Structure 1
Amino acid sequence: MPQFFSFISEILWGSLMVYLLAAAGIWFAFRSLLVPFRYITDFGKSLKSSRVAQRGALSSWQALCLSLATRLGSGNLAGVAFALTTGGPGAIFWMWVSALLAMAISFAECSLAQLYKTRDEDNQLRGGPAWYMERGLGMRWMGVLFSVLLLFTYGLVFNTIQSSAVSRAMEDAWEIPGIVTGLLLVVVSLFFVLKGISSIARLMQWIVPLMACAWVLISMGVSVWHADLLPGVLATIFKSAFGWHEAATGTMAWTLGQAVTSGFQRSMFANEAGMGSTPNAAAAAASWPPHPVAQGIVQMIGVVTDTFFVCTASALVLLLAGVSPVEGVFGGIQSIQKAMVSLTGDWGAGFVAIIVVLFAFTSIVANYTYAENNLVFLRCNSRRNLWLLRTGTLAMVLLGSVISVPLIWYVADVTMALMALINLTAILLLSPIVSLLAKDYLRQRKLGVMPVFDPQRYPEINRQLAPGSWNKIPRS
């Protein structure tokens, strides 16, 4: 079975997904008239003006932290180790390239999610790819297919990977049995998944910035401490990126194709742009200024934070220590711990374990939030079905803490590729709407007024929107 999913993953990622992601990133950069890059500093104003959540909605800051919670997981640690194993140091360079393209994709999908948002029976804002597939494209069947894949991937598969990373880190640092770690993670996660999206978002707005800053500051501090090695490490990254650098043992060489494939693959697992996950958080926000593009720009910053800061920090620790993650993705966490210990001392293993616990816990809770959101779209969010989802999620968390998960990693690669294929198809079909939104935002910025989206200007779009989702807001 692992060989089968590995074969399918190789087919999807060997060429198709890499070319599709690259093409979509370039396409949306130009279709949006480079608006997200030209006005990237607007994200600060949006966050400052949207600190307090409105009733039934998240603030832009809470939505960003919620999306970062799913992004900042084992993919930023074990996933980086996997990238180095399969693609060599050059995979890091291609992670950066992928992230630049992913910024435009994230802008497009999150702007669309904000545009086609709606309110549920409890007056809570909801939305995401399934909604813009139904309302924007008139293809509910596509939204249903996407929702089912997301439920499987985020409700079950990814959470198994997160708990596996935690159990390995805790056992390596303090010799805590995996079953004990798993049970504790289940209990704490259950407490928060019962709270609902608003309470989860309030938790994430505090814990996510703290854990991200802690990892980046310590890792970068360690890198600066070993500054004499940095030029050699950076040279290795760029040489290996184009297949010009052989492994230290002289027995293995990474090809350009391996570096590109591994870099794009791990970058998507880490920053999730194009997969259609972060739009679920973007749609739940009451964006300010009240324009879909504002939320698209805010969520784009999540890609920058995830890849250029957190993943790069992990890569530098591994490369500076000269630790080869010979156990591949399944030993990625131990490789990070071993690298940190060699650079800082014995306390490094415990520090990595704490970071992994925080990363994994926030990912599990936020992943569940996305899964529950799509139960709402499927109109299957009865009390019984919610408890079935919770039970399945927590069962996979416990399972991941006690078993080796090579098969799960391969399944994750396949399912996230399928999600991306469906979502990228949808947003490419909706690219005229993305272009229209960008032009509308650009027009108002050039006039020197606060951008406000008025659907009455666009009758065709207005007919697709949920009633009352974009009531006209007076300019301040």
Structure 2
Amino acid sequence: MLDIINDILWGKILIVLLIAVGIGFTLASRFVQFRHFGRMFRILSASQAFRRDKHGHLSSFQALLLSVAGRVGGGNIAGVAVAITLGGPGAIFWMWVVGLMGMATSYLECTLAQTYKTAEPNGTYRGGPAYYIARGLGSQWRWLALLYSALLLVTFGFGFTALQSYAVATSLDDAFGVPVLFTGIAMAVIVGLIIFGGVKRIARVTEVLVPVMAVGYLLVAIVVLALNVTRLPEVFLLIVHSAFGLEQAIGGGIGAAIMMGVKRGLFSNEAGLGSAPNVAAVAYVPHPANQGIVQAFSVFIDTLIICSATAFIILLSGIYDPASTADIGGVALTQASLAEHVGEWGRSFVSIALLLFGFSTILYNYYLGENSLNFFSRQNVTLFNAFRVAIIALCAWGATTDLGTVFGFADVTMGFLALANLIALIMLFKPGLRIMRDFDAQIAAGVEQPIFDAGKFTDLDIDPAAWDIEPEDLLARQQPAASPSSS
């Protein structure tokens, strides 16, 4: 049944919708992810990107770190290996395509999440796809917002938690011989202590650990590339040729390459799922497009940089062989490949990286699940405690569950989640373009830092209280001097 549903969702419906939204918004926005690529760095280097506002909201940079912590996980290490094993090297090419188009999709969904965020009584914000569906599409579409929240809870709160636990457990088993059951129990205990008590404190620690680990992983990948620099053109051509079926019998041919590239690419960068907007919405920014640009950069980091690093580590090794990798898949393939390049310590390095990535992602998944529950019932202590107990159980169960079962369940729930969100994004194309054009118009007029005026968009049911701009940002807004042609 899982296979049948996956074939329908991923083989027909979602590929069309992902391409339609990604390419459609890329063209309609005049390639916004490329036009504003340099501005991504300027936004993050600006002082306001790091500053907490008077209510202590997340800054733009902190929201980026949290979204990267959530995106970077098993999909970057185990998922890429699965894509290559089942779809061949060509799957990486289609993963790149999904990543580049996904940058536009992420820009759209995160800009909308910022636009339609709501101010809470305690001065914080709430937002995400459920909110831009309910407010942007109107009360008659509230059922879709409720459906999305339920799917987000099942996918991230339940499915992806089990998947991350499995990836961590199998990695530690391969590298250190730790039984998966022991790892599952340990993960359950640690996660239980965190989510029942010190979530915020540990989350702040992982905001430091995950970027450090990501940089460490990339440095190791750079070493591998340097050791095999003469073979890089060969591997790149292998990826491109395989993507269009020009290589002999790799994976399942061009169809498998496209399907695995799309599925694993979306699973890794999450563009179109609507997960990152839940975090992006709670950040303070002077204009919604600011966070859209930053979150587009998050997709670039995840897919074009970290996933590519894993792919080249595997394809540059002698471990990968389409005729003999049936018994070597997932994270074990990545570990064996890195070990061949740098020695046995590489196997342990991948396990430690996956442990940190997976741990932070489980916390991120828990936050998304809790946010979904909040949309249904706010401050229901009994409901939240029941959810926490379920998360603890899933950490133990997921560690001992077959890879195919975990990925199959995650693929199905992720597919329905993406379907609900992509339908909403298509219906909210015009508001998304209006917000982008407001930002672009201010930039074209010479304004250094565009400011969002909610009063100009009263027809969009925006919460004005969520757009109380900080005085220093209003002062920083520089109006252009009048030109001779305008006088």
Letter of the aligned partner of 1:124 in structure 2?
A: T
Cα shift readout 1:18-75 (whole Å, capped 9, x = no counterpart): 1211111111113323334212222223223221323242111111111111211111
Among candidates 348, 356, 359, match of residue 358 of structure 1: 356
Tell me the residue number matched to 2:29: 32
Cα deviation for residue 197 of structure 1 reads: 7.2
- Aligned pairs for 1:324-339 (under 5 A) are 324=320, 331-339=329-337
Retained in 1: the 8 A contact 2:319–2:336? yes
- Aligned pairs for 1:112-261 (under 5 A) are 112-138=112-138, 139-194=141-196, 199=201, 202-247=204-249, 254-261=252-259
Retained in 1: the 8 A contact 2:95–2:261? yes
Tell me the residue number matched to 2:52: 53
2:363 is the counterpart of 1:375: no
Tell me the residue number matched to 2:2: 5
Q: Specify the SS of the correspondent of 2:37.
A: coil
Q: Specify the SS of the correspondent of 2:50.
A: coil
2:467 is the counterpart of 1:465: no
User: 2:39 and 2:190 mapped to 1: Cα distance?
Assistant: 36
Tell me the residue number matched to 1:18: 15
Specify whether residues 240 and 191 from structure 1 end up closer, same or farther in structure 2 by C-alpha distance, changes over 3 A only.
same
Cα shift readout 1:324-368 (whole Å, capped 9, x = no counterpart): 386669931111111111111111111111011011001000111
User: 2:358 and 2:384 mapped to 1: Cα distance?
Assistant: 22
Retained in 2: the 8 A contact 1:318–1:339? yes
Tell me the residue number matched to 1:299: 295
Moved more, 313-322 or 396-405: 396-405
2:450 is the counterpart of 1:451: yes
User: 2:450 and 2:199 mapped to 1: Cα distance?
Assistant: 28
Retained in 2: the 8 A contact 1:107–1:299? yes
2:62 is the counterpart of 1:62: yes
Cα shift readout 1:390-434 (whole Å, capped 9, x = no counterpart): 111121111111232422211111111111111011111011101
Tell me the residue number matched to 1:401: 399
Tell me the residue number matched to 2:480: none
Retained in 1: the 8 A contact 2:203–2:363? no
User: 1:369 and 1:91 mapped to 2: Cα distance?
Assistant: 31
Specify whether residues 108 and 30 from structure 1 end up closer, same or farther in structure 2 by C-alpha distance, changes over 3 A only.
same
Tell me the residue number matched to 2:97: 97
Cα deviation for residue 383 of structure 1 reads: 1.0
* TM-score, normalisation: structure 2: 0.91
User: 1:411 and 1:262 mapped to 2: Cα distance?
Assistant: 15
Specify whether residues 328 and 269 from structure 1 end up closer, same or farther in structure 2 by C-alpha distance, changes over 3 A only.
farther
Tell me the residue number matched to 1:280: 278
Specify whether residues 389 and 120 from structure 1 end up closer, same or farther in structure 2 by C-alpha distance, changes over 3 A only.
farther
Tell me the residue number matched to 1:85: 85
Retained in 2: the 8 A contact 1:82–1:328? no
User: 1:329 and 1:154 mapped to 2: Cα distance?
Assistant: 28
Letter of the aligned partner of 1:441 in structure 2?
A: F
Q: Specify the SS of the correspondent of 1:57.
A: coil
Retained in 2: the 8 A contact 1:79–1:270? yes
**How many residues are treated as equivalent by the alignment?**
465
Q: Specify the SS of the correspondent of 1:233.
A: helix
User: 1:37 and 1:229 mapped to 2: Cα distance?
Assistant: 29
Among candidates 427, 430, 443, match of residue 428 of structure 2: 430
Q: Percent identity?
A: 40
Specify whether residues 328 and 51 from structure 1 end up closer, same or farther in structure 2 by C-alpha distance, changes over 3 A only.
farther
Specify whether residues 31 and 152 from structure 1 end up closer, same or farther in structure 2 by C-alpha distance, changes over 3 A only.
same
Unaligned runs of 5+ in 1: none
Q: Specify the SS of the correspondent of 1:143.
A: helix
Retained in 2: the 8 A contact 1:42–1:294? no
User: 1:329 and 1:127 mapped to 2: Cα distance?
Assistant: 44
Tell me the residue number matched to 2:317: 321
Retained in 2: the 8 A contact 1:243–1:253? no
Specify whether residues 91 and 74 from structure 1 end up closer, same or farther in structure 2 by C-alpha distance, changes over 3 A only.
same
Letter of the aligned partner of 1:208 in structure 2?
A: V
User: 2:327 and 2:70 mapped to 1: Cα distance?
Assistant: 19
User: 2:464 and 2:433 mapped to 1: Cα distance?
Assistant: 23
Cα deviation for residue 467 of structure 1 reads: 4.3
Cα deviation for residue 253 of structure 1 reads: 6.2
* TM-score, normalisation: structure 1: 0.93
User: 2:56 and 2:377 mapped to 1: Cα distance?
Assistant: 19
Q: Specify the SS of the correspondent of 2:467.
A: coil
Letter of the aligned partner of 1:388 in structure 2?
A: A
User: 1:123 and 1:199 mapped to 2: Cα distance?
Assistant: 21
Moved more, 196-205 or 72-81: 196-205
Retained in 2: the 8 A contact 1:70–1:367? yes
Letter of the aligned partner of 1:469 in structure 2?
A: A
Letter of the aligned partner of 2:341 in structure 1?
A: L
Cα shift readout 1:217-238 (whole Å, capped 9, x = no counterpart): 1012112112232222112111
Unaligned runs of 5+ in 2: 477-487
Tell me the residue number matched to 2:482: none
Moved more, 44-53 or 338-347: 44-53
Retained in 2: the 8 A contact 1:81–1:329? no
Q: Specify the SS of the correspondent of 1:245.
A: coil
Q: Specify the SS of the correspondent of 2:316.
A: helix
Cα shift readout 1:158-215 (whole Å, capped 9, x = no counterpart): 0111111111111111111222222222233234334577546533431221111111
User: 1:395 and 1:150 mapped to 2: Cα distance?
Assistant: 18
User: 2:199 and 2:29 mapped to 1: Cα distance?
Assistant: 31
